[in-house]
Structure 1
Amino acid sequence: MSDKSPADTPRITRRNVIQGVILPIMANAMPSAAHAAPPAPVSPNNGTAASCPPLRTGLRGQYPGSFEVAHAARDGLFAGQVTATDTGEHYDLVVVGAGISGLSAALFYQRAMGPDARILLLDNHDDFGGHAKRNALQYKGQTYLGYGGTMSIETPFPYSYTATSLLMDLGIRPDTYSSYLKTSRLKGLEPAVFYDRENFGKDQLVPGYHEKNWDRFFHDSPLDNETRADLLRLHTQTINYLPDLTPDARQALLRTISYETFLRRYANMSDGAIRFFAGKAFRNNMRVDTCPAYDAMKADAPGFNGMEVTHDSPHESAIFHFPDGNATVARLLVGRLVPSFFGTPQTAASVVMAQGNYSRLDLPGPVRIRLNSMVVRVEHTGDPTRPNDNKPVRVVYQKPDGTSDTRHAVMADNVIMACFNNIIPFIVPSLPEAQKDALKYPSKVPMQYSSVLLRNGQALRRCGTQSIYAPCSYHTRLLVDEPVDIGGYTTNPSPDHPTMVHLLRNANAPGHPRKEQNRLGRQEMLAMTFPEIEAKTRDQLQRMFGPLGFNHEQDIVGLTVNRWPHGYAYTYDTLGDPYMPAALRPHIIGRQPYGRIAIANADSTAAAFTNTAIDAAERAVQECLVSRGYT
């Protein structure tokens, strides 16, 4: 372990951290598709579910066994003095949480302190990556990839210098995505809507849900005349529903009312028309009754074409989607931190098919990743209010499987809390009360991503669809994965081959405030068993595709449900949150460093994006360096 003091260590600055990422860029940048090196000959069937967590199916995400210890900490089981067996380990840095923010923090810290810095990452799950989860479903000797959470590299604003630099260092070049995307496979496929009999009178899948086809689409939909007329008017006519207001005044009003209020009060939509929008998930999963109308307008919701509204133009980042989503980012980070995980260096292309060796993650070495380890206490052994106090931080974790009565303690010169904000006050009870209140403020957004492997894609081809919106069904979205060919992996090559689709569910409770909807949705998700979710999934797919010859008993050949009761980071909105100066917002107060402890996660940025999680990691590392006397 490294035990250098500021006096005998070279001066470390922010530039050291960033340049440590930038310098290798040219050597590691992803080659274009035409010049990419051939992938390593790795069989997609190496490993078993016992040795390779992505192969595990059933209920994943926050699965039974991964969260109970955290709930016990929340409920006060670890209040007071927490006894634990001292492992004798002393690290330069312990990171609590091995998601993308935690993994990035470990890499930034290593770049700043040198390759000999001893770093331990602790995570309560059996896999790393946090919400960036890799699903690998097997059928007839082949493995098919899906994403169990974070889908793509994309944001409604440009990536920072820090995040861009890290991606490039890992070999990821979003500007090359078009060379891997095979859009010809989607030719002739359109978005569709599934109407369920409970809410629309009959089960019916209607393709052609797009702006060039509104008349035919709504004509073919099972809607009453009033609802059909309302929706046609909203989608096709250019009407200024706020004629007496200036563009500035329109923006001000739209920020203070929900999209549902706009539709009812100003666009005069009927109950049937409102029902059509019941399953829409706007920014950060806000629903029709909780999404500010202004945010709905920015998300291209219908009803605003006839009015001029003052607003800033979006500046979106480039997009890159891997077959396993941003799990590839996490895997590349792990490959840098623990080189023996893959055995050989991986590029952003070759890593897609590479098989990692999970038994190598926690072997002696500079960086160790210890899974199935829920941290229950983080506490200073010295005085966190004294500058340059050199006493370490004690970190206690508990194993949920097989050793539930055994807790272990390690020591660290720095700790970065890269778990989600709500649990931190219970793990670090000595935090100032105002900071604990700020950390408890957000209500994380519940999300459920199901990866479903179909025996073939014939039913989808017969109805001519690549995505389905289901306003009132259990799953409100079905997506055929984007046809990406990368690193020797081919996504959904043809309708005759096994086809990966993704079902999205956003549990909520209409009629309640947004944060309460998230809480109630979380309760519902945790109460459901996998057999119950599987039954609902099979029933919905059968009702969608049964008339097209689909038989769920034969045609569903793999299912992984990724349940995230604590899903997306909470973002502020103009309806659910009071106005607060930027410096007084809870995520700013909550992320303040506390002695040798810093906080890095998407919650600390109030934005549910991979790049902000990376930015938070870099900030937390800087705070750690300052706490040790480096500038």
Structure 2
Amino acid sequence: MTAHFPLGDDLPGRRARELGMDRPISRRDFLDGVATAVTCAAVPAPSPPARTLPRARPPAESQESRHPASAQGLRGDTPDAVAVPHALRDGRFWRHAGTPEPTGERYDLVVVGAGISGVTAAYTWTRRHPGARVLVLDNHDDIGGQARRNEFHPAGRRGPLVAHGGSGALYAPRAWSPEGRELLAELGVVPGRQHDTGLYPGLGMHEAVFCDRETFGRDRLVVLRPGRATAEWAAELPIAERARQDLVMLFDHAPDWFPGLPDDHKKRLLAGLTYQGFLRDVCRVHPDAVRFCQTMPSATWAYGADALGALDAWALSGPFAYPGFAGLGLAAEPSPYNSPRVAERRASGQADVYCFPEGNQALVRMMVGRMVPGFAADPSMEHITTTAFDHAALDRAGNRVRVRLSSPVVLVRNDGPPGTATGATVGYFDGARVRTVRAGGVVMACWHSVIPYVVDDLPAAQKEAMRRAVRMPVVHATAQLRDWRAWRDAGVHRVRFTGAYWAGAELAAPVSLGAYRCPATPGEPITAHLVHTPATPGTAPGDAAVAGRRALAGTPYGALEFGVREQLARLLGPWGFDPARDVEGLTVNRWGHGFSPAYARPWDAFHPGGPAPAETARRRFGRIAIAGSDAVPGADADAAVSAACRAVRDLEAPS
């Protein structure tokens, strides 16, 4: 899907002004246009509306804006963050980099990547080796990787509004690995009690589906109130009458599509289908019903029903989600053919758990606060959201643990043959030249697709396995809103779109923690979260990710902002929402390499018997161990944690 946003008229400039594109937003960072074109020269130019949008002049930098979480505009995988990895990939970097210069620094451990996995590796190492010297390097300007914190400072509120910019919740923590549960216990994290699940329903606000004109030719909001009969809400959908009847059948009285077959045989048949294929070829429902279900998995999986396996859809089915399986009479136990993530969630009976307003970056800050003196005044769970942070402390000379940001790693090599090496050399680009440090061991906790360009002498089979770790691109937009009266009047707090650019929009999860209080009345400022999944429909997830990432790279920030405003206006305009007045801030976190998808049928024929590519990719190579969620693989925080703990054990084991 391209970044073309329907304007509804022939005057994009006037439409942009109506949406408030010409009005200043505090601390807006217009990192688009030229910068994007430099790193993506081969990508076609954006659509004309995106080029003609007026732009506000960025305000003077304030003390507050120098903190990464407070910066707005384009964040995440910005051109600055990915320029060096792309240059390595394209074979351009070393033609201009010059000879690496040693810094003279020596560490017991160097970690490549300051996301959840990298920081967990550093934290685990320091717990097992007190007094060790550790350096963590990352190409981004903030810690956490995709676990990103966004802050907004609306007038009249005491303290900032805090939101997440990627990894927002703990995925079924009861199903976490022993290492993951041990880490949560060590940090004092008690999942669940912070989330006020009754706030929005108590105000008459529920989940909804927005049948958009991109899919059905016109816009229609349909509220899915609990207990509402399927036939009642289906009658409001702008779809063919037969499609309405088919949806009622799928939700309320689906038959046994495979009569007479045993349970394991039925599950094997589902394992060979996508959910879209199940609806189309087995249930034979009207195409409108298939289109209605297409984006059901998008916000969680970063792809649609055309890529989600039917067996996983069955395991996740429930009210208003993945209908059509009730008549099969399947045993509740997950199948070996289910993806591991889905099987664990079904076995635990637990959904996502919101613990922190900033999402899972809180875990990273809690660990870094315990390792780096002066970074966090109070790294406890209760105070991590509101405590004072000093980012200047991250790389302070004299600290045993240092975190060096905006420092993309460009080389890692064993000091001698891998079988006998006792140390390694790590090189990073500091913006002007390549600097090297020495390490007793290295944990690679970055994207696996980058490692073959950094660890040049890896075995060919290991490099090939790493290149097969294709991540799903995803974009998270967080808008600061003046209030949320329009949401209350519309009766919604979370909305799925059936085919518009942004696949979902929801108000911030009502999480209060320590001194932080979530907005509790509709007249207060709040944040709204939107998600876009660029994967191109109709192909295997890996191919869809590559095509979607290419389209995303050519989409400037102005087009993304326009889309947020335009889509919120379509959703909430009938209830008085005015984006020119009500959108007071915006941060767009672009993750070209976002979710690390778990192995799943029907795409991964080796699953569950193996061997899996990750088994080869994560092999220790001399004094270099492999972490990152790609090493599991999995898109949740527990995958990152368990991969980090495995890498630490690998380095500690004899050669």
Paired with 2:226 and 2:275, the residues of 1 have a C-alpha distance of 20
Question: Which secondary structure does the structure 1 equivalent of 2:480 belong to?
Answer: strand
Contact 1:109 1:621 in 2 (8 A): yes
* Contact 2:109/2:440, CA 8 A, preserved across alignment: yes
In the TM superposition, what are the counterparts of 1:222-241 in structure 2 within 5 Å?
A: 222-241=238-257
What's 1:334 paired with?
368
Q: Compared with structure 1, are the counterparts of its residues 256 and 211 closer, same or farther at alpha carbon in structure 2 (3 Å cutoff)?
A: farther
* C-alpha displacement of 1:185: 4.3
CA distance in 1, matches of 2:193, 2:285: 40
1:260 counterpart SS class:
helix
Correspondence 1:152 to 2:173: no
**Cα displacement (A) at 1:49:** 4.4
1:368 to 390, 402, 414: 402
Alpha-carbon distance in 2 for matches of 1:272, 1:516: 25
In structure 1, the partner of 2:22 is none
1:620 aligns with 2:647: yes
Query: Could you say if the C-alpha distance between residues 160 and 511 of structure 1 is closer, same or farther in structure 2, counting changes exceeding 3 Å?
Result: closer
Is 1:173 the counterpart of 2:204 in the alignment? no
1:186 has 2:201 as partner: yes
Q: 1:420/1:229 Cα in 2 relative to 1: closer, same or farther (>3 Å)?
A: same
> 2:268: which partner in 1?
252
| Aligned-partner Cα distance in 2 for 1:215–1:180 | 32
Aligned match for 1:518, one of 541, 545, 549: 545
Residue 81 (structure 2) pairs with residue 66 (structure 1): yes
| Aligned with 2:143 (options 124, 128, 131) | 128
Q: CA deviation digits over 1:77-96, x for unaligned, max 9?
A: 34699721211111111100
The residue that corresponds to 1:308 in the other structure is: 329
1:369–1:336 CA distance, 2 compared to 1 (3 A): same
Is the 1:193–1:209 contact (alpha carbons within 8 Å) kept by the matching residues of 2?
no
1:354 to 368, 378, 387: 387
Q: What SS does the corresponding residue of 1:178 show, helix, strand or coil?
A: coil
Give, as a single letter, the amino acid of the residue that structure 1 aligns with 2:383: S
The amino acid that maps onto 2:636 is F
Q: What percentage of residue pairs aligned between the two structures are identical?
A: 33
Residue 271 (structure 1) aligned with residue 290 (structure 2): no
Q: Does the CA contact (< 8 Å) of 1:150 and 1:325 recur in 2?
A: yes
The alpha carbon displacement at 1:499 in A equals: 1.8
Residues 419-568 of structure 1 correspond to what in structure 2 (within 5 A)? 419-568=446-595
Spell out, residue by residue over 1:79-117, the C-alpha distance to the aligned partner (whole angstroms, 9 max, x if none). 6997212111111111000111111111111122212x1
Contact 2:117 2:445 in 1 (8 A): yes
Once the 2 structures are TM-superposed, how far is the Cα of residue 582 of structure 1 from its aligned partner? 5.2
In 1, the alpha carbon distance for the partners of 2:390 and 2:417 equals 40
Q: State the TM-score, normalizing by the size of structure 2.
A: 0.84
C-alpha distance after superposition, 1:444-497 (max 9, x if no partner): 011111111111011100011111010101111112222122111111211110
* Deviation for aligned residue 1:56: 0.5
Do the aligned residues in 2 keep the contact of 1:132 with 1:149 (CA within 8 Å)?
Answer: yes
- Distance across 2 between alignment mates of 1:581 and 1:488: 46
Say which is worse superposed, 195-204 or 539-548, in terms of deviation: 195-204
- SS class of match (2:598): coil
Distance verdict in 2 for CA 1:237–1:574, change over 3 Å: same
Deviations 1:300-359 (A, max 9, x none): 0100111122442522468342100001101101101102112x3331011111121111
- Unaligned runs of 5+ residues in structure 2 are 1-61, 335-345
Q: 1:197 — aligned with what?
A: 213
1:103 partnered with 2:110: no
Equivalent residue letter for 1:132: A
For 2:601 and 2:472, how far apart are their aligned partners in 1?
A: 17
Structure-2 residue corresponding to 1:384: 418
CA–CA distance in 1 between the matches of 2:474 and 2:182? Answer: 29
AA aligned opposite 2:379: Q
AA at the equivalent of 2:87: A
Which residue type is aligned with residue 453 of structure 2? F
TM-score by length of 1: 0.87
Give the match for residue 312 of structure 2: 295
| Correspondence 1:242 to 2:258 | yes
Deviates more, 1:142-151 or 1:202-211: 202-211
Residue 614 of structure 2 corresponds to 587
Q: CA RMSD in A?
A: 2.0
Q: Report SS of the residue matched to 1:430.
A: coil
- Rounded to whole Å, the distance in 2 between the matches of 1:163 and 1:208 is 35
